[in-house]
Amino acid sequence: MPEDGRQKVEIVEFSPSFADDFARLNYEWIEKYFSVERHDREILDNPQKYVIAPGGQIFLAVDAGRAVGAVAIIPAANGVFELTKMAVTPEYRGLGIANSLMDACIEFARERDARTIFLESSRKLGPALALYRKFGFVETPTDPNSEYSRADIRMELAIETPNM
């Protein structure tokens, strides 16, 4: 990785050419800490159908043509989006890439008049939870109908609308 990695990494929107990278980045961390679940496979193996077509977006951090980070944001209900599948490859962690991916998702949701972004995660993922808290996400009751058996924490971010 180049020393000036921060300047080289750019955040781009999903294109089908990045589908394999989106899956690879996420399968990597899910398999390390958990078991891959049905809903993981749906999103990761068919992002066009489960993320893009419903009106969501996948943002990728790209360095010299290589995807080194990814996150998806998916509409869940009127004014509500789900943040999911956040990943940064290990050798690129600590460079602020997750911050840039979060900024892109929040801006995407804001542009679509979202009121709330929620996410489901696991308490095992301390650095991820710290990132979410840094961005203003607060813990809310877990969803008993969650698609993920590993989800033992649910967090929400209230989106502030700019003064007009």
What are the structure tokens assigned to 131, written together?
């990132």
Q: What CATH number belongs to 5-117?
A: 3.40.630.30
Q: How many CB atoms lie within 10 A of CB 70?
A: 27
Mean pLDDT of 35-47: 97
pLDDT tier for residue 5 given thresholds of 50, 70 and 90: very low
Mean pLDDT of 31-46: 97
- Specify the pLDDT at position 1: 45
pLDDT > 50? residue 117: yes
- Specify the pLDDT at position 160: 78
Q: In what order do the strands lie in the sheet with 57-63?
A: 10-13, 57-63, 66-77, 80-88, 116-121, 153-158, 138-140
DSSP letter, residue 21: H
- Specify the pLDDT at position 8: 83
Nearest Cα residue to 69 out of 147, 5, 145, 161? 5
pLDDT tens track for 54-101: 999 999 999 999 999 999 999 999 999 999 999 999 999 999 999 999
Full DSSP string of 48-92: IIIIITTT-EEEEEEETTEEEEEEEEEEEETTEEEEEEEEE-GGG
Calculate the CA 74 to chain-centre distance: 9
List the domain boundaries for the chain: 5-117
pLDDT > 50? residue 4: no
pLDDT > 60? residue 39: yes
- Specify the pLDDT at position 164: 44
**pLDDT exceeding 90 applies to what percent of the chain?**
92
